[in-house]
Amino acid sequence: MDNIDQKIPFAQSINTFTDRKIYDALQAAGQSWPCHVVEVNGPIVTVAFDLITPSTITLPQVTVPLFGPEYIRYPIQVGDLGVCFAASVSLRGVSGLGTGKADFSDPGNLTSLVFFPIGNKNWSEVDSQAVTIYGPNGVVLRDTNSDTVITLTPTGINIVRGDTNISIDESSVNITASSISLNGAIQLNGTISQTNYGGHGTTANFIGPINVINDVTAEGKSLATHTHAVPNVQTGGSTVDTTSPL
């Protein structure tokens, strides 16, 4: 017969049994833990968990999908902080890390996670009333087929649409296009230089009137000071037919 000291009252034993079953179920369920990124592969990241654990427990690094739609790509960097949230079933089929549809089987506590970046008070300050987008290498805006691409980098801005290209850096704006139209009043502060484009000079055509406040110089000759020597014209009341070549 067992010693009475080895017997546990039923009420106590059933409570202990129940608590253990609840604990085991919670451990098997998905866990949502703080973490940081250790590797980035496009929309898939590998994270390490930021938890103080007993020396007997080592949490593995896990590879999980990054939160967000296909149409907005976050420039997640190694070291970025966040939280992994767990789904109720496996996400491997929808994330591309596996195949097939999920069923109701237990996905395991670290196999149904999604990484969410989390706000941090040490982020750089921005205008709280404006949408701010930035990344280490800048920002790229494009349509699905990249027919039009706007690229902002630390050194400038570039806009590409077919053969038309507009680039802006810290000291210049360069426009390449088959046709450029400027509509509206133009205020020019600076000089105009015409290059020998395409191996020959180009002709500038203006529809007058043109008002020149100061002088006009053509092939080194000043319009204001240039004179013509016209034969058989005397000073005084004489005139010359200006419709004839001088």
Distance CA 47, CA 65 (A): 10
User: Which CATH number belongs to the domain containing residue 104 in this structure?
Assistant: 2.40.50.230
pLDDT of residue 198: 62
pLDDT value for 13: 65
Examine the domain organization and report whether 73 and 30 are in the same domain. yes
Q: Is 232 contained in some domain? A: no
Rg of the chain, C-alpha, whole Å: 38
HSE, side-chain direction, 13 A CA sphere, residue 126: 11
Asked whether residue 106 is domain-assigned, the answer is: yes
Read off the tokens for 198. Answer: 């395409």
| pLDDT value at residue 3 | 57
Residue 203 lies in a domain: no
Q: Within this chain, do residues 73 and 163 fall inside the same structural domain, yes or no?
A: no
CB-side neighbour CA atoms (13 Å) of 103: 2
| Beta bridge partner(s), residue 62 | 47
Of 216, 214, 197, which Cα lies nearest the Cα of 206? 216
How many other C-beta atoms are found inside a 10 Å radius of the C-beta of residue 115?
26
Are residue 103 and residue 171 in the same domain, yes or no? no
How far apart CA 217 and CA 224 sit, in angstroms, is 8
pLDDT number for residue 23: 46
Residue 34 falls inside a structural domain: yes
Based on the fold, state whether residues 100 and 169 are members of the same structural domain.
no
Alpha carbon 49 to its chain's center: 28
> Per residue of the chain (246 residues), what is the pLDDT tens digit?
555 555 666 666 666 655 554 445 445 556 789 999 999 999 999 999 999 888 777 888 999 999 999 999 999 999 999 999 988 888 888 899 888 888 877 776 677 899 999 999 999 999 999 999 999 999 999 999 999 999 999 999 999 999 999 999 999 999 999 999 999 999 989 888 877 766 666 777 888 888 888 888 888 888 878 776 666 666 666 665 655 554
Question: Looking at the domain assignment, is residue 63 inside a domain?
Answer: yes
* In a shared domain, residues 107 and 145: no
Q: Are residues 69 and 112 in the same domain?
A: yes
What's the structural domain count of the chain?
2
- How does DSSP assign the chain, residue by residue? ---GGG---HHHHHHHHHHHHHHHHHHHS---EEEEEEEEETTEEEEEE-----TT--PPPEEEEBSS-TTS-----TT-EEEEEEPSS--HHHHSSS-S---SS---TTSSEEEEE---TTSPP--TTS-----TT-EEEE-TT-SEEEEEETTEEEEEETTEEEEE-SS-EEEE-S-----S-----S------GGGS-------S----SS--EETTEETTT-----TT--SSS----TTS--
Structure tokens at 179: 């046709």
Same domain (yes/no): 164, 111: no
**Residue 161 belongs to a domain:** yes
Q: What's the pLDDT score for residue 223?
A: 83
Whose CA is closest to 164, among 149, 175, 156, 153?
175
Looking at the structure, tell me whether residues 12 and 110 fall in a common domain. yes
Neighbouring-strand partners of residue 201: none
Q: Answer whether residue 76 is part of any domain.
A: yes
144 shares its domain with 100: no
Residues 49 and 91 occupy one common structural domain? yes
217 lies in a domain?
no
Range of the domain at 79: 7-117
Tokens 């077919």, residue?
Answer: 162
Give the residue from 63, 70, 72 showing the smallest Cα distance to 92: 63
Asked if 83 contacts 118 with a C-beta cutoff of 8 angstroms, the reply is yes
101 and 43 in one domain? yes
Note whether 103 and 19 are same-domain residues: yes
Hunting for tokens 């609840």 — which residue is that? 22
